[in-house]
């Protein structure tokens, strides 16, 4: 083969390879990443959005769309999301969808921060008063403190709206007066940029749209023929987001208390203790995302102490009843004064109280029945047997005999926990004991 032909063939291969690489690069960049932000705005959701925007930047995506449907959330997490959007190197579109969705409270700030703000038909935006945006402060704040928070939020949202040429007056009213707007009202009032019935329609409307980035550079979106890449939460993010719900937090806390109590009632079962311990750590993680009242935590701790004390005292349910009462009031106080989205559903607390009460009633019933069953084998067999003092006999206390707790009365003196005593007689469920060896 002549040398000239070989050269031409080589050039042809190089040109074909270059074209192929160019086509692949164009295909890679002709992509729009879509994030799905549905639910309360909290640190897990903020981390997910940050990861999604970073991924869009690294992969040179055309844009990053955040499909938003939120009742609001934590102020700190909202500000984290706003900063991620404002500082993004790729255009970020916030799309309140699907129909029936809303961008309430903290969601208003997120929507206003977008380079392009869009809403689906039959959606709403507004009611951004900061008291409803998961205030991490006290439930009851002074008028002066509330005024400071409101002024700060109003200035923040005006700044966000001004940066994108949106209606600053309405944005401030959303904070100060909790006003809201439908998608058509929002479009007319220059709160959003467009209304799109679905994602494909939104992508089509974005084609040719010019976006001004933070560095004042203008980017013209070329969305024609772009592929949609849905970036979902990872399995771990899904799990952490699920347990950050106040309903789940309360249930986990209850399971922790119940599991540990059952383990103490029945030492050696292992599974209830392990399950309760894991639930306790998950509950602590979940409550860390929620604005809570620490007086409620104190009452719940007291409830746990009373339930555990039931194991070591022959109260036959009195301490357990007090523990359940303290638990219910603890849960009620835990979220008192907090925004509705940070409170458990009304049915959760009664259901938990009834469930724990039923389990403890079952355990206590069998403990009492075991005590009474002793008489059917002949209480006379107790006479002369040894028992170990559990609660000091002064002269009345508690002793343990063959794994069973008894109320006991010492004939004279005192007996410390751990000492051995001799059973001399019985009267119903009460034993009479002595430290003297019987002849």
In the three-class reduction of DSSP (H, G, I as helix; E, B as strand; rest coil), residue 149 is classed as helix
Contact between residue 71 and residue 267 where contact means Cβ atoms under 8 Å apart: no
Catalytic residue among 148, 188, 414, 416: 148
Contact between residue 134 and residue 342 where contact means Cβ atoms under 8 Å apart: yes
Contact between residue 252 and residue 5 where contact means Cβ atoms under 8 Å apart: no
Q: Residue 202 and residue 377: Cα distance in Å, rounded?
A: 81
Q: Residue 28 and residue 227: Cα distance in Å, rounded?
A: 9
Return phi, psi of residue 435, to 5°: -90, -10
Cis link prior to 206 (omega < 30° from 0)?
no
Q: Residue 112 and residue 126: Cα distance in Å, rounded?
A: 11
Taking alpha carbons only, the member of 99, 124, 70 closest to residue 339 is 70
Contact between residue 64 and residue 85 where contact means Cβ atoms under 8 Å apart: no
Active site residue 148: yes
Beta bridge partner(s), residue 432: 409, 425
Longest dimension (CA), the chain: 124
**How far, in Å, are 76, 265, 282, 314, 424 from residue 404 at the CA level?**
54, 11, 34, 10, 17
Active site residue 178: no
Taking alpha carbons only, the member of 411, 367, 369, 404 closest to residue 388 is 404
Catalytic residue among 77, 97, 105, 254: 105
Q: Residue 164 and residue 385: Cα distance in Å, rounded?
A: 86
Convert 173-199 to b/e letters by CB count within 10 Å (16 or more is b): bbbbeebbbbbebbbeeebbbbbbeeb
Contact between residue 258 and residue 304 where contact means Cβ atoms under 8 Å apart: no
In the three-class reduction of DSSP (H, G, I as helix; E, B as strand; rest coil), residue 426 is classed as strand
Q: Which two tokens stand for residue 190?
A: 């220059």
List, as one string, the DSSP characters of 267-333: TT--HHHHHHHHHHHHHHHHHTTS---HHHHHHHHHHHHHHHHHHHS--TTHHHHHHHHHHHHHHHH
Return phi, psi of residue 281, to 5°: -65, -40
Classify residue 46 as exposed, middle or buried by CB count within 10 Å of its CB (0-12, 13-18, 19+). Answer: buried
Q: Which residues are catalytic?
A: 105, 148
């Amino acid at each position: 083969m002549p040398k000239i032909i070989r050269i031409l063939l080589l050039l042809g291969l190089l040109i074909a390879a270059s074209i192929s690489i160019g086509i692949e690069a164009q295909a890679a960049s002709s992509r729009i990443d879509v994030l799905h932000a549905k639910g309360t705005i909290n640190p897990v959701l903020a981390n997910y959005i940050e990861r999604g925007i970073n991924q869009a930047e690294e992969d040179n995506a055309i844009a990053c769309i955040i499909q938003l449907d939120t009742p609001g959330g934590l102020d700190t997490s909202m500000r984290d999301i706003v900063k991620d959007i404002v500082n993004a190197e790729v255009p970020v579109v916030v799309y309140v969808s699907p129909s029936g969705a809303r961008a309430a409270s903290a969601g208003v700030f997120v929507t206003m921060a977008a380079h392009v703000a869009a809403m689906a038909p039959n959606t709403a935006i507004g009611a951004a008063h900061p008291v409803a945006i998961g205030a991490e402060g006290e439930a009851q704040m002074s008028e002066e403190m509330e005024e400071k928070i409101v002024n700060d939020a109003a200035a923040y949202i005006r700044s966000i709206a001004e940066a994108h040429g949106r209606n600053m007056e309405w944005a401030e009213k959303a904070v100060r007066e909790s006003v809201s707007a439908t998608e058509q009202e929002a479009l007319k009032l220059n709160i959003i940029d467009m209304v799109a019935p679905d994602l494909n329609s939104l992508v089509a409307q974005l084609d040719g749209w010019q976006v001004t980035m933070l560095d004042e550079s203008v980017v013209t979106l070329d969305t024609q023929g772009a592929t949609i890449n849905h970036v979902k939460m990872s399995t771990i993010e899904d799990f952490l987001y699920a347990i950050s719900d106040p309903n789940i937090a309360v249930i986990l806390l209850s399971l922790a208390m119940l599991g540990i109590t059952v383990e103490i009632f029945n030492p050696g079962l292992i599974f209830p203790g392990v399950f309760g311990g894991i639930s306790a750590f998950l509950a602590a993680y979940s409550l860390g995302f929620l604005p809570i009242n620490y007086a409620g935590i104190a009452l719940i701790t007291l409830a746990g102490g009373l339930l555990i004390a039931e194991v070591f005292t022959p109260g036959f349910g009195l301490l357990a009843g007090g523990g359940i009462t303290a638990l219910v009031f603890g849960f009620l106080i835990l979220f008192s004064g907090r925004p509705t989205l940070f409170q458990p559903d009304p049915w959760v607390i009664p259901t938990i109280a009834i469930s724990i009460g039923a389990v403890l009633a079952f355990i206590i019933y069998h403990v009492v029945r075991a005590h009474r069953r002793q008489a059917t084998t002949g209480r006379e067999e107790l006479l002369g047997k040894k028992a170990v003092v559990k609660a000091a006999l002064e002269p009345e206390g508690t002793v343990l005999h063959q794994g069973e707790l008894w109320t006991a009365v010492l004939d004279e003196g005192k007996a410390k926990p751990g000492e051995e005593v001799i059973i001399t007689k019985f009267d119903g469920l009460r034993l009479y004991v002595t430290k003297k060896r019987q002849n």
